[in-house]
Chain A
């Protein structure tokens, strides 16, 4: 651990603290809060869309507004919620998990936070423009994103918002990556880093090397619109976009599989199973994820389908290793069905549905049928929502005492889990059936003769259960913070990694002293030594 010269401890946060604190814990907390706010905004948009689709012939919103809603829903969720949340957990936890006193480059980290906020505000400001917000999908697909198809300032503000937020995310990821590589505690070799820290290394490698391509692409797209020049053809745009667009879905997955791995180890009372294979699979998985981008372009007929089908299907190998390790961690463990554990278990099961259907669409012949249908919508919502969002809550409930100094109420947590487990499957499973039956994505209405009304109504009811579950979570936050209880360093009495070797929340310099690090589970080592 670096010996540090830290400022004297501060008391209540002032406005200056909120704006300018370089403490990674403060930055992480602010980024978590920001991400949750954006999640609520994106969720409201989803509920509006589901209300429109509940029955054929409903006109809750106009077609043009519906186009804006699916564009902004996807944009908010990907650029402003899941990705920043994934990095927020890394900003907060990686320095603690590796035993560092501070994150590498705290000022860059602070700048990243403000760029993400600025990007979000810029993107959403499109709602205030005369022509409304962007309507060219979260991809900004060319030529739909050109001035002729989507005139008005809203599309431009979307482009600049994506650029700023993505730039901020690159800065955050660089800080996390350098912390893990350069600031580990004495005795913590690379192969003694916790699994969550390794998941963040894999995540941040993808962010640092893929996200700048999006920043550049957005700058060029804005230039095309502003100056009326042609820089891309539609296929080249898609190559550049999906070069970012596929890695980002793994950026939105790896931290939450890492969180689930930690939660499983803690609440099964066992050391994480197959650690070295898991680390190797994370590196292979992330490398493959950088090499599959054109599977989003199979139906253009302009890419080498067999190469991208091979790399896409090869993803099942590291995915299988990770699943084997997660199950192996639970096997014959002393399971404690806490709220984080249940969210983690649901992640394991539900992400599997998304992952297996990914193999389906990784086959070009099958993708030609499923492309642009609700089957694809179901696939990515099972991975990103029923998978990653559940894994995210596994991490949030588990680490909330460490982050905020309060423990969320278990009773309300179980209610949240139940509403979400039922709601997510009600909302997204029928979409597989609708997609197979031919329902196209991104449509504001469908004919009553299609027979799709019943399943759409089921999905809408499911989405409202998800919304209700989110309200329960927000209520839990308010109650826990209004009535805080004093917490020990490890309120779960299950922590295995270094973040549990300090107070909740930690002091400015993170640790007064560090235990010896002899494995990737140093606190478990101490407990086992004490028992022996």
Chain B
């Protein structure tokens, strides 16, 4: 609960500000953006609250494996960027980008599996 507290507080402040917009006659676009934002924040905070539990401060944290290098991540990011730029420059580049992204994603899966095997 505590780790979600700032997000929840922030969401409530945003909700209050959006409610003030009703009193001052804001138009549907403005109201939509304001309430949409506060709703997204409150939802995000709720998701964080219900997510996989992180140790509360003071509790002993379990050991975890930390990746030192991740070439696969760099390849994946490069693939995504290349595919996006390829949307402008041509399908051939989209193909290269998607190929890199798939290679990167595959490499990432291998890294994650190796981490799980190596974790104490």
Residues of A within 8 A of B (CB): 1-7, 10, 16-17, 19-23, 101-102, 106-107, 110-111, 114-115, 118-119, 122, 153, 156-157, 160, 163-164, 181-190, 201, 205, 208-210, 222, 226, 236, 239, 243, 283-284, 286-288, 290-291, 293-294, 303-304, 306-307, 310-311, 508-509
Contact = CB atoms under 8 A, between A and B. Distances in A.
A287 B66 contact: no
Interface in B1-19: 2-7, 9-10, 13-14, 17-18
B17 A306 contact: no
A4, A209, A310, A508 — most chain B CB neighbours (10 Å): A209
B70 A110 contact: yes
A6 B66 contact: yes
9 contacts: A7-B66, A10-B68, A20-B71, A102-B66, A107-B73, A118-B78, A184-B57, A205-B7, A291-B14
Chain B interface category by residue count: 35 or more
B91 to A, nearest CB: 13
Contact of B37 (A3, A186, A209, A509): A209
Nearest to A102: B66
A17 B68 CA distance: 9
A23 B68 contact: yes
Contacts of B119: 5
Task: Say what secondary structure dominates the interface of chain A.
Answer: helix
B2, B6, B34, B80 — most chain A CB neighbours (10 Å): B6
Contacts of A283: 6, 9-10, 13
B93 to A, nearest CB: 12
A115 B66 contact: no
Interface of B: 2-7, 9-10, 13-14, 17-18, 20-21, 24-27, 29-30, 33-34, 37, 40-41, 44, 48, 54, 57-71, 73-74, 76-78, 80-81, 84-85, 87-88, 108, 118-120
Nearest to B18: A291
Given A187-B57, A304-B25, A114 B74 contact: yes
A156 B81 contact: no
B59 A186 contact: yes
Nearest to A161: B85
Contacts of B85: 118, 122, 157, 160
Contacts of A239: 29-30, 33
Nearest to A112: B77
Contacts of A122: 81, 84-85
Contacts of B44: 208-209
A181 B7 CA distance: 10
Contacts of B37: 209-210, 290
Nearest to A159: B88
Given A7-B68, A236-B29, A304-B21, A164 B81 contact: yes
Given A303-B30, A304-B26, A21 B57 contact: no
Contacts of A222: 87-88
Given A4-B63, A153-B88, A21 B14 contact: no
